[in-house]
């Protein structure tokens, strides 16, 4: 009888562990986050900008907490076992979700993400969440993980992470997912460059007037010191987004244009009801 119980017990234990493991596996479709974004983010100007219903996010705070808790539950070992695309989608979504949480700590008494910081600690340096087993701040995700040299090396991430500001590239109304990541990053880049309020060509002065994002992260868009790896070369590849005029296109593509950086709008990207 004891032998029979052992024979039954061992397989049952193995099966139980197997199902428990898979039940706790991270959801790479980021379904909770995706639902929140679809409900509370409004995309305008053909996808080039977006606005956030922070008040509704606040009402849906439990769902947001469940999602960020699932992010925090991922171990470094588990994360390192994933493909690069799964890792990058995870980090981008984590940055955006924790940014929303940061805003909600002060909402509605807030006009800018800067209001969540202090004279001593900037918003992006506040350690208020756990990720991959450590207490972290937003700058760690963006600069130490996403932008870490030799890991992902994709400047398009600057159009994916959102700083809760009008001047920032749009927060997508869908989660980033590994099997659509390249398409989503390119779409976010094209959308941002298509917004003439933040990136435009002034034919009178022969000048590309572009977002400060390109000034702050110039090195990310200039892969080497030669002209072929310059900021001008980056814009040349997307000249069609700045103008449809043949002469303007020619100048941008030949990199014979000036570049100036526009003032950044730090006002909260909030939809007030």
Give pLDDT tens digits for 140-168: 999 999 999 999 999 999 999 999 999 99
**By percentage, how much of the chain surpasses pLDDT 90?**
85
| pLDDT above 80 for 229 | no
For residues 153 and 223, what is the distance between their CA atoms, to the nearest angstrom? Answer: 10
Output 273 or 258, whichever has higher pLDDT.
258
pTM above the 0.85 mark?
yes
């Amino acid at each position: 009888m004891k032998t029979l119980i052992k024979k039954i017990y061992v397989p049952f234990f193995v099966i139980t562990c197997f199902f428990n493991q898979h039940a706790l596996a991270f959801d790479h479709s980021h379904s909770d986050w995706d639902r929140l974004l679809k409900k509370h983010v409004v995309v305008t100007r053909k996808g080039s900008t977006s606005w956030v219903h922070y008040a509704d996010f606040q009402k849906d705070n439990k769902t947001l907490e469940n999602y960020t808790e699932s992010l925090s539950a991922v171990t470094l070992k588990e994360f390192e076992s994933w493909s690069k695309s799964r890792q990058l989608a995870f980090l981008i979504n984590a940055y955006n979700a924790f940014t929303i949480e940061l805003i909600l700590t002060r909402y509605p008494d807030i006009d800018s993400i800067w209001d969540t910081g202090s004279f001593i600690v900037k918003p992006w340096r506040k350690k208020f969440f756990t990720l991959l087993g450590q207490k972290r701040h937003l700058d760690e995700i963006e600069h130490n993980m996403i932008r870490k040299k030799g890991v992902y090396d994709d400047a398009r991430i600057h159009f994916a992470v959102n700083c809760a500001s009008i001047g920032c590239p749009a927060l997508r109304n869908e989660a980033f997912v590994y099997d659509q990541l390249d398409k989503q990053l390119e779409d976010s880049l094209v959308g941002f460059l298509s917004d003439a309020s933040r990136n435009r060509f002034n034919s009178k002065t022969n000048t590309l007037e572009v977002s400060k994002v390109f000034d702050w992260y110039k090195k990310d868009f200039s892969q080497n010191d030669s002209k072929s790896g310059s900021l001008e070369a980056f814009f040349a590849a997307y000249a069609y987004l700045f103008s449809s005029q043949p002469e303007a296109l020619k100048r941008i593509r030949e990199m014979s244009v000036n570049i100036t950086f526009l003032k950044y709008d730090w006002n909260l990207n909030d939809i007030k009801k």
